[in-house]
Amino acid sequence: MRDYAKEVLEGSVRAAARLISWLEDEDPRALEHMERLYAHTGRAYVMGITGSPGAGKSTLTDKVTFALRKKGLTVGIVAVDPSSPFTGGAVLGDRVRMSRLTMDPGVFMRSMATRGFLGGLAKATGEVVKVLDALGKDVILIETVGVGQDEVDVIRLADTTCLVLVPGLGDTIQSMKAGVMEIADVFVINKADRPGADQLYAEVTTRVEQDASIRERAWTPPVMRTVAVDDEGIGDLVEAVEAHRKFLEESGALEEKRRRRAREETLQLIHGELYRRIRDRLTANGELDALVEAIVQRRESPYRAMQHVVARWMRE
Which residues contribute to the site for other proteins (CB under 8 A)?
A: 13-14, 17-18, 20-21, 24-27, 83-84, 87-93, 95-97, 99, 102-103, 108-111, 113, 115
What strand order describes the sheet that includes 160-165?
Answer: 107-113, 75-81, 139-146, 45-51, 160-165, 186-189, 223-225
Please tell me what DSSP assigns to residue 10.
Answer: T
For the four alpha carbons of 4, 133, 14 and 24, in that order, the dihedral sign comes to positive
Least distance to other proteins, CB of residue 42, Å: 23
Nearest to other proteins of 88, 168 (CB atom): 88
Q: CA-CA distance, 4 to 135, in Å (whole number)?
A: 11
Least distance to other proteins, CB of residue 52, Å: 21
**What 3-state class would DSSP assign to 177?**
coil
Least distance to other proteins, CB of residue 181, Å: 31
Nearest to other proteins of 42, 88 (CB atom): 88
Least distance to other proteins, CB of residue 228, Å: 16
Least distance to other proteins, CB of residue 1, Å: 9
Least distance to other proteins, CB of residue 221, Å: 32
Helix (H), strand (E) at residue 256 = helix 253-284
Nearest to other proteins of 21, 301 (CB atom): 21
Q: CA-CA distance, 229 to 201, in Å (whole number)?
A: 19
Instruction: Give the chain's radius of gyration (CA, Å).
Output: 22
Among 47, 46, 123, CA closest to 80: 123
Please tell me what DSSP assigns to residue 226.
Answer: -
Nearest to other proteins of 87, 213 (CB atom): 87
**Residue 298 burial (CB count, 10 A):** 7
Q: CA-CA distance, 258 to 264, in Å (whole number)?
A: 10
Least distance to other proteins, CB of residue 269, Å: 19
What b/e sequence results for 173-196 when a residue is b if at least 16 CB atoms lie within 10 Å of its CB, and e otherwise?
eebeeeebbebbbbbbbbbbeeee
Q: Which amino acid is at 139?
A: V
Per-position DSSP letters for 195-255, written without gaps between them? TTHHHHHHHHHHHHHHHHHHS--S-PPPEEE-BGGGTBSHHHHHHHHHHHHHHHHHHTHHH
Nearest to other proteins of 26, 231 (CB atom): 26
Least distance to other proteins, CB of residue 99, Å: 6
- Confirm if 22 and 30 have CB atoms less than 8 A apart: yes
Least distance to other proteins, CB of residue 36, Å: 19
Nearest to other proteins of 13, 267 (CB atom): 13
Nearest to other proteins of 77, 152 (CB atom): 77
Nearest to other proteins of 13, 169 (CB atom): 13
